[in-house]
Structure 1
């Protein structure tokens, strides 16, 4: 397979060979961020988001990569972000915990899935972080010390 074939996305919802997961579509350009392909990794299990009652700098609703880097930089108290960042698939180690908008975009493109509640990297307050129910696309916020599923994502520039 040549480099161009590797960067040609499959149909939405299909495994993208060599890219570490399911093709979840294009994340539209927002603010100063370019549009990119969104690749959804496998479920890693259930993890707490982070310490209840503590503020973090992971407040972006659209940039899960920045949120995850902020959480990892703040220490070992953020198990969901730590698990997502440690994920490796098809040789790619650039996974992260998706922001609320990235989860919603994945749901818009993939439709209802039996993945239940999934954490985003977007903090709501010192006590809550945004999450999403993939059965119907409902977004809410959960208590940070609850254990919810983690589905890491990675981004691929549009060429």
Structure 2
């Protein structure tokens, strides 16, 4: 069952970066699709494959919109995407992963292991993006490999 998660936050109610918000840790403010948003990193960690090798998921090609990518992944049968959505969250996009890495480098968040994590942005039918949170690089990997996922929430700032 999908958890009902907070969808928005008043700008005046935003805590300092690194503080609790919406069941996770407030990472940063950013703009997505013309809206200002708050990125929240959950403590949950999932492990699994991105999806099926050789299957193009047309709706999962955004480098910025992790929520849209994750919904498309779930519709295609991705177990980690389904689990992230059940948490009322999504798998970070390339943009969201970069924002998380910047917050880690700035000391705002310490909970990311220096390990490899899937991002929701697909490159092709065979490969998708992943990120190494030890050094911050984004790379490509075959979708059938198992990696970690740290779900996030993106709240509309009103």
- TM-score range relative to shorter protein: 0.7 to 0.9
Count of aligned residue pairs for this structure pair:
144
The one of 63, 66, 77 equivalent to 1:64 is: 66
Name 1:101's counterpart in structure 2.
95
Compared CA separation, residues 129 and 5, structure 1 to 2 (3 A): closer
User: What secondary structure sits across from 1:137 in the alignment?
Assistant: coil
Cα distance in 1, alignment partners of residues 52 and 44 from structure 2: 22
SS at match of 1:125: coil
**Structure 1 length-normalised TM:** 0.81
Corresponding residue of 2:81: 81
CA deviation string 1:89-139 (max 9, x = no partner): xxxx2x111111111111112327424111111001111110111111111
Confirm or deny: 8 A CA contact 1:36 1:157 kept in the other structure: yes
- The 5 Å alignment of 1:1-159 reads 8-16=13-21, 19-29=22-32, 32-57=33-58, 58-74=60-76, 76=77, 78-87=78-87, 93=88, 95-111=89-105, 113-159=112-158
| Off by >4 Å, runs of 4+ in structure 1 | 4-7
Deviation at 1:71, TM superposition (A): 1.7
Q: Aligned partners of 1:64, 1:26: CA distance in 2, in Å?
A: 15
Provide the alpha-carbon RMSD of the alignment.
2.1
C-alpha deviations, 1:46-78, integer Å up to 9, x for none?
A: 11000011111210000011111112223x2x1
- Aligned partners of 2:11 and 2:62: how far apart in 1? 30
Structure 1: which 5+ runs fail to align?
88-92
Structure having the higher strand fraction is 2
Q: Tell me, in whole angstroms, the C-alpha distance in 2 between the residues paired with 1:24 and 1:10.
A: 10
Aligned to 1:90: none
Gaps of 5+ in 2: 1-8
The higher relative CO (CA closer than 8 Å, separation ≥ 6) is in: 2
Structure 1 Cα separation of the partners of residues 13 and 101 of structure 2? 21
